[in-house]
Chain A
Amino acid sequence: MEISRNWRLQKQRYGLVGEVCEHCGSKIFPPRDVCPACAEEAKTLYQFSGKGEIYSYTTVYDAPDGYEEQAPYTVAIVKLEEGPLVTAQLTDVDNGKVEIGQQVEMVTRKLREDGERGVLVYGYKFRPSWSDENLRVG
């Protein structure tokens, strides 16, 4: 049970809330209070749009404990339109049927469950953008 740990991260995981550095203007996700670009303090919250494109992707067949029921699933690195890269599962796609550069948007989904009586962990995943011509119909 990791209740406090998941509760602590809910703003970031549910809302894609990061930070912006007042010194160099870098947008930061996940938030870390110290700007990775200029090493100055960066505590101003910043709401990301949730839009981005696929930087890279893979299909996981050998899943860790807590993710077995989802396997095989697609994990991607998404380049957010504000700049940062974020690791996230893709949803509403056929495994492997995506491309580098494809436009995606954030949605909230179940990330994992710790057994029948355990905590359900929710957070962001990404799916092909509705405006995207790559959208599969049906």
Chain B
Amino acid sequence: MKDVYIIGLGQTEVGEHWETSLRHLAWEAIDAALKDARLKQPDALFVGNVLAGQLSKQEHLGVLVADFCGLRGIEAASVEAAGASGGMALRQAYLAVASGMVNTAIAAGVEKFTDTVGSRATAALTSATDSDWEAAQGATPAALAALIMRRYMHEFDCAVADFAGFSVNAHANAKTNPYAMFRNTITAEAFAKAPMVADPVNMFDTAPDADGAAAVIVAADDFVWAHRDASQRPMIRIAASAVATDSLALHDRPDPLFFRAANLSAGRAYKQAGIEPGDMNVLELHDAYTVYAALSLEACGFAPRGLGWRMAGEGGISLRGKMPLSTFGGLKARGNPAGATGIYQIVEAALQLRGEAGANQVAAPRWGMAQCLGGSGSTAVTHILERVGRDS
């Protein structure tokens, strides 16, 4: 197994890109990442995407994107694991490089949500749930989050307002992220008055579905050392890469209030990296809903069972807090371009470790963790990144 490094980062602004196509969005992110890596010809491309088949009537994204990026001939395929597709694309790129089969690979994520609007888009999103036994009853992803949140509040004695801090923090951090969809500040008072999406999940609990693309270039250690430039930029090593699954349907879990896939994949990642949750300096979790932030914090060992919600109100998740969370706005305020989300998280964590996060920079981080979830926590992909000095 070779060590794998992230040598290039690219992202597009998250939002409603009415004038830009799926392939063009992907190209923008990949072009930026290749330039950042000073690389012309990568060996392989893995594209994370969820909805193109349904919303753009376009499958076969590996070749679509490779062709459009001027990379005809390379190995390319798309990867799908609902909201975890981006993380899964990086996982495939990591495995390809770590195995020694390729030297360099692109892990990209792209989502073109606005190619279809209205109830058909909502229906497409439900395909990440159990189609026969959840979607058939009219359940949506937001409804599943609401079912979890209602029961969580019932069992752990907290209220909707107790979750506000997650969204307030996300928006505060997105304000200075030029790639974020929502750069407005929100207050706990506004959160309390937000209209309902699926009671008790309100509009400020929920991440916006949006268009976006992000890409990272990964390379094997020997390639990186052979091609190192004179810059003093720190290098980013993928210290851990881990995937785990739970039941597809929420109702099939012995305890629907525990994100077991998140717990398993985080545990495997800590073991691979040889660190503990307390060592982490930057955290990007799947805050598609505020209750998912709470459950992810619990599953990954940052809060005891039933107490994840308390981290929303204690100030520890801000950029200057003990455990900075959603440092560029998270899914909530940067936006949630489904299959690209997992790659945005990696780009953001890597920017932090490089010290290139600008106004969003946390103090001298060494370890960063990104975890994305597919469906109601059915798939979890966790990556841990480490900043490595030039001389080490």
| Contact surface of A with B, Cβ cutoff 8 Å | 5, 9, 30, 36, 55-68, 70, 73, 75-77, 84-89, 96, 100, 111-112, 121, 123, 125
Cross-chain contact B147 with A75 (CB below 8 angstroms): yes
| A58 CA to B139 CA, complexed, in Å | 9
Cross-chain contact A75 with B138 (CB below 8 angstroms): yes
Chain B hits for A88, CB < 8 A:
137
Cross-chain contact B247 with A111 (CB below 8 angstroms): no
Chain A hits for B247, CB < 8 A:
36
Closest residue of chain B to A70, judged by CB? B138
Q: Per a CB cutoff under 8 Å, which of A9, A58, A123 touches B199?
A: A58
Cross-chain contact A65 with B199 (CB below 8 angstroms): no
Cross-chain contact A62 with B132 (CB below 8 angstroms): no
A-side interface mostly: strand
B-side interface mostly: helix
Closest residue of chain B to A30, judged by CB? B133
Q: Which of B96-104, B120-128, B326-334 forms contacts with chain A?
A: B120-128
Mask of B103-140 contacts with A, CB within 8 angstroms, 1/0: 00000000000000011101101100000111111111
| 19 chain-A/chain-B pairs, Cβ below 8 angstroms | A30-B133, A56-B151, A58-B143, A58-B201, A61-B196, A63-B138, A64-B123, A65-B119, A75-B143, A85-B256, A86-B133, A87-B133, A87-B134, A87-B139, A87-B249, A87-B251, A89-B138, A96-B199, A123-B137
Cross-chain contact B256 with A68 (CB below 8 angstroms): no
Given the contacts A56-B150, A77-B147, A61 and B251 also touching, CB distance less than 8 Å? no
Chain A hits for B250, CB < 8 A:
77, 87
| A121 CA to B136 CA, complexed, in Å | 9
Distance in Å: Cβ of B214 to nearest Cβ of chain A: 26
| A64 CA to B201 CA, complexed, in Å | 17
Given the contacts A9-B132, A73-B138, A61 and B197 also touching, CB distance less than 8 Å? yes
Distance in Å: Cβ of B196 to nearest Cβ of chain A: 6
Cross-chain contact A56 with B148 (CB below 8 angstroms): yes
| A55 CA to B197 CA, complexed, in Å | 20
Closest residue of chain B to A85, judged by CB? B251
Chain A hits for B136, CB < 8 A:
111-112, 121, 123
Cross-chain contact A57 with B147 (CB below 8 angstroms): yes
Chain B hits for A112, CB < 8 A:
136, 138
Interface centre among B123, B126, B137 (most CB of A within 10 A): B137
Interface centre among A30, A57, A77 (most CB of B within 10 A): A77
For the complex of A and B, list the 8 residue pairs with the smallest distance between their C-beta atoms, beginning with the closest. Answer: A58-B146, A64-B123, A65-B123, A85-B251, A56-B151, A64-B122, A65-B119, A67-B138
